[in-house]
């Protein structure tokens, strides 16, 4: 089988997502999957009625792969989404899909989708300038978490302890970057410096870990140096994670769950989740789990294609 990984970094580096890409290549060898890694900008998309089975990479037309792993670690921008959509239209299964990646790239949109499915999310408000400080105090309260709409690895997530600090930050942003899109979110104090990362593949929890910041910061991200330990999920957490992935149409999801006084709140779900932390503390090979699940799925798709093909080939008036 042939697989393309769409990755925006250098997989031989220490960049986010590089470890995971190398793990996929390793697992691919075991599963008989030949993996090629491409950056979105290597693609050229040409839309016409004839040459429907091809895309160009580095100006060369290549045969299409059996499936694509969409492993964008930075911003999922328009060009990247266009590449994934093009591949999907050519019939190549992409994990995760363009639709799911578009939903989770926007932190407000994904919170809206989770809330629509009755999943617990912290009160969240879309920011606009000039910011109505009184309204934020009334609707969200202080301390408040300020997040850029797009961002990963804890970058772009700030905690304003009180009204004064929030006012200062808003003045600064208003002066320097009034076009920035931000959200204001209720601070879930019980989760200060700790949270859960639950990994869901095809509607099943395959591993979970508790993350804890080591420097007293409220952010628990592993990529910020947080410590990790395996966590045995309860049926409640399992259901929250699976339902979150389902609500966002994610085949592969890293669901971040916050501890609340009397339950949990969904922080976010990632569509190209890192798994170095999970593989380091849980006895699990996430790369193998993902590839194994996808291979079964693709084999089933091919089988159906073969079954359906003679029916589709029937002349209309026969």
Ligand X SMILES: Nc1ncnc2c1ncn2[C@@H]1O[C@H](COP(=O)(O)OP(=O)(O)O)[C@@H](O)[C@H]1O
| Residues found near Mg ion in the complex (CB under 5 A) | 256
Q: How far apart are CA 96 and CA 104, in angstroms?
A: 11
Q: 168-187 mask for ligand X (x: CB under 6 A)?
A: -----------------xxx
> Least separation, in Å, of the C-beta of 13 and ligand X?
20
Instruction: CB nearer to ligand X: give 38 or 264.
Output: 264
Q: Return all residues near 221 (Cβ < 8 A) that are at least 6 apart.
A: 153, 154, 211, 213
Beta carbon of residue 115, minimum distance to ligand X (angstroms, whole number): 14
At closest approach, how far in Å is the CB of 256 from Mg ion? 4
The CA distance from 223 to 197, in Å, is: 12
Nearest to ligand X of 23, 219 (CB atom) = 219
Decide which of Mg ion, ligand X, none touches 264; Cβ closer than 5 to 8 Å per partner kind.
none
Q: Which of 184, 138, 141, 185 is nearest to 162 (CA)?
A: 141
80 binds, among ligand X, Mg ion, none (CB under 5 to 8 A by kind): none
Among 220, 240, 253, 286, which residue interacts with ligand X (rule: CB under 6 A)?
220
∠ CA 257-258-262, rounded to 5°? 115
* Angle subtended by helix axes 98-105 and 78-89, to nearest 10: 160
Instruction: Specify the length of the chain in residues.
Output: 318
Residue 122 touching ligand X (CB under 6 A): yes
Of 231-290, binders to ligand X (CB under 6 A) are: 256, 258, 267-268
**Using an 8 Å Cβ cutoff, are 249 and 258 in contact?**
no
Report whether 64 contacts 32 (CB < 8 A).
Answer: no
Contacted entry of ligand X, Mg ion, none for residue 210, CB cut-off 5 to 8 Å set by kind: none
Q: Output 87 or 267, the one with its CB closest to ligand X.
A: 267
Scan for tokens 């929030």, then name that residue: 166
Output the DSSP codes for 28-50. HHHHT-EEEEE-GGGEE----SS
Q: Which is nearer to Mg ion, 66 or 256 (CB)?
A: 256
Q: For Mg ion, which is the closer residue by CB, 57 or 190?
A: 190
Q: How far is the CB of 274 from ligand X (least distance, A)?
A: 10
Which uninterrupted H or E stretch holds 57?
A: strand 55-57
Q: Return the residues of window 134-153 that contact ligand X according to CB under 6 A.
A: 145, 147, 151-153
Query: Which does residue 191 touch among Mg ion, ligand X, none (CB within 5 to 8 A, set by kind)?
Result: ligand X
Q: Which of 127, 154, 254, 273 binds ligand X (CB under 6 A)?
A: 154
Residues 195-214 that bind ligand X (CB under 6 A): 195
Task: Report the run of H or E that residue 205 belongs to, with start and end.
Answer: strand 204-212
x/- binding map, residues 287-316, to ligand X, per CB under 6 A? ------------------------------
Instruction: Name the E strands within the chain.
Output: 2-7, 34-38, 43-44, 55-57, 60-62, 67-71, 94-95, 124-126, 144-148, 157-160, 182-186, 194-201, 204-212, 227-230, 252-260, 263-270
* Binding footprint of ligand X on the chain (CB under 6 A): 122, 145, 147, 151-155, 157, 185-188, 191, 195, 218-221, 256, 258, 267-268
């Amino acid at each position: 089988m042939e697989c393309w990984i769409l990755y925006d970094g250098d997989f031989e580096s220490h960049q986010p997502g590089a470890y995971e890409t190398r793990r996929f290549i390793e697992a691919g060898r075991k599963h008989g999957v030949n993996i090629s890694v491409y950056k979105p900008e290597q693609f050229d998309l040409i839309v016409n009625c004839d040459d429907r089975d091809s895309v160009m990479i580095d100006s060369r037309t290549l045969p299409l792969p059996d499936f694509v792993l969409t492993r964008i670690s930075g911003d999922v921008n328009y060009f990247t989404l266009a590449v994934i959509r093009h591949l999907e239209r050519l019939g190549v299964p992409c994990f995760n899909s363009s639709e799911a990646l578009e939903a989770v790239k926007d932190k407000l949109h994904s919170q809206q989708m989770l809330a629509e499915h009755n999943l617990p999310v912290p009160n969240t408000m879309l920011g606009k300038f000039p910011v109505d400080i009184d309204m934020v105090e009334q609707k969200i309260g202080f301390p408040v978490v300020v997040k850029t709409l797009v961002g990963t690895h804890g970058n772009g997530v700030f905690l304003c302890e009180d009204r004064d600090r929030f006012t200062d930050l808003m003045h600064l942003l208003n002066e320097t970057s009034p076009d920035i899109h931000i959200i204001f979110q209720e601070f879930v104090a019980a989760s200060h410096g700790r949270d859960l990362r639950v990994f869901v593949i095809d509607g099943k929890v395959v591993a979970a870990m508790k993350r804890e910041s080591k420097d007293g910061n409220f952010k628990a991200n592993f990529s910020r140096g947080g410590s990790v330990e395996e966590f045995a999920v309860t049926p409640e957490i399992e259901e929250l994670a699976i339902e979150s992935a389902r609500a966002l149409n994610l085949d592969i999801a890293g669901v971040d769950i916050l501890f609340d006084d009397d339950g949990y709140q969904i922080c976010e779900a990632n569509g190209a989740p890192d798994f170095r932390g999970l593989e380091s503390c849980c006895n699990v090979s996430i790369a193998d789990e993902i590839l194994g699940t996808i291979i079964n799925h693709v084999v089933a798709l091919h089988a159906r294609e073969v079954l359906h093909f003679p029916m589709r080939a029937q002349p209309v008036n026969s």
